[in-house]
Amino acid sequence: MLVKELNRGKCKTYLVACETSGNAALIDPLRDHIDRYLALLAYHGYKLAIVIDTHTHADHRTGSFDLNELTGAEVVMHREAPAPRVGRHVGDGDTLFLGELALGILATPGHTPDSMSIVVDGRVFTGDTLLIRGTGRADFAGGDAGAQYDSITGKLFALPDSTIVLPAHDYRGNTESTIGEEKRLNPRLAGKSRADYVALMENLGLPLPTQIQEVLQPNQTAIDDDALKFPTLAQLSEVRQLTPQEVQALGSGPAGPTILDVREPDEFTGPLGHIPGSQLIPLKELARRVDELEPSKQRRLIAVCRSGVRSTTAAAILTSMGFEQVFNMKGGMLAWNDAKLPVKR
C-alpha cells in the first residue's frame, strides 16, 4: 500500500493506492489541485478508482465531482451527505475495497452530520473530526459538539493506540499523530468530560471561513453556476422546518400543501423514491422554472431533497421571490424513509 499526502498545505489530500492492483483512491481532493493529482497518478501508472470526501467541506471546493467527470472514478460519501452525483453512499461499518485493500468506514458525525473516518492498514483518515492536538469546529453546517465528542471517544479512541492519525487539516505543520498520543496530549480531549468539551467548543469564537457560502453551497449541491445566486446564511437560518411526520399529517390533494422535490431526476426515481404527488423541479432549474409554481404561491409549499440541505436552499430562494408560506422538510427523503412513510418510485 502507498499512502501519500499531496497538497503540502493546511488542507490535506491523501492518495491511497494498492500497489498490487494499481487501483488508487483520493481522499478529500481539492478542486484547485486536480491537475497535480492527475499528473501524479499518471506518473505512477495508477488508475483512480474512487474519490472520497470525508464530509461536506466549507472552506474549499471539492475536486470529487470534477475527478468523476474526468476519470470515471466513483464518488463516495456518507449516506447523510446532501450532494447529488454521489456514486456510492456508505454508513458505519461498511467496507470499501480497493484492489487488495479494505477501507473500513466509521460514521463520526459532529463536525458535520455526514462526517466519517476511514480505517486502513493501521491508519485512520479522520477528516475534520479529529485533528492533531485539536478537533474540527462544530458550530456550523449542522455541527454538534456532543456528537463529535461521542464519535471521537467512542469510535476513534476505540482503535489501537498505535493507529496513525491522518486528518484533513493541520494548521501547525504536523503531518501525523497516533490515537494514543491524541488520547494523552490533545488539549481539547485529554481529561475532558462530554460537558467540558461541549462548553469549550461553544466558546471558541472562531470567524467563519472566508466565502463560506461560495464554497459550501456548490459542495452541497454539485452546482457550479455563477448565475445562481445562493442565499446567505442568515436567510437559510430563517427557513421554517417541518418533520416528515408533520408533512404527512398535512395531507395531500387540493387542500394539502404543494410538495416540491428539488433533487435530480435520477434521485427522484432512485432508491429513496419520492413523496406521492410531489412536483419535481431540480434546484439548478428552480430560478428559471419558478413560474410553474405560481398556482401554489398562496398555498403552503414544502421543499424536499435527500437530506434537507438543498431543499433549505430552495426554500430560502423561494421566500426571497415572494412565496410567503414556504417550509423545508427536515431530514429530507432519508428521514421520510426512516419513518417508513409512503414512497413512490
As a whole number of angstroms, the distance between CA 125 and CA 304 comes to 32
The structural domains of the chain, with segments of one domain joined by +, span 2-202, 225-338
pLDDT level of residue 17 (50, 70, 90 thresholds): very high
Q: What are residue 319's phi and psi, to 5 degrees?
A: -60, -40
As a whole number of angstroms, the distance between CA 70 and CA 297 comes to 41
Residue 270: all three cell numbers together: 432512485
In this prediction, what percent of the chain has a pLDDT beyond 70?
99
Q: What are residue 244's phi and psi, to 5 degrees?
A: -55, -40
Residue 191's region, left for phi above 0, alpha for psi from -120 to 50, else beta, is left
Q: Using one digit for the tens of pLDDT, what is the confidence trace for 89-136?
A: 999 999 999 999 999 999 999 999 999 999 999 999 999 999 999 999
As a whole number of angstroms, the distance between CA 141 and CA 209 comes to 12
The H-or-E segment that residue 90 falls in is: strand 88-90
CATH 3.40.50.620 fits 2-202, yes or no: no
Q: Using one digit for the tens of pLDDT, what is the confidence trace for 245-288?
A: 999 999 876 778 999 999 999 999 999 999 999 999 999 999 99
List the CATH code of the domain at 225-338.
Answer: 3.40.250.10
- Taking 90 as the threshold, does the pLDDT of residue 203 lie above it? yes
What is the three-class DSSP state of 30? strand
Provide the pLDDT for residue 254: 72
Closest CA to 112 of 139, 75, 133, 77: 139
Q: Give the global pTM.
A: 0.95
The H-or-E segment that residue 303 falls in is: strand 301-304
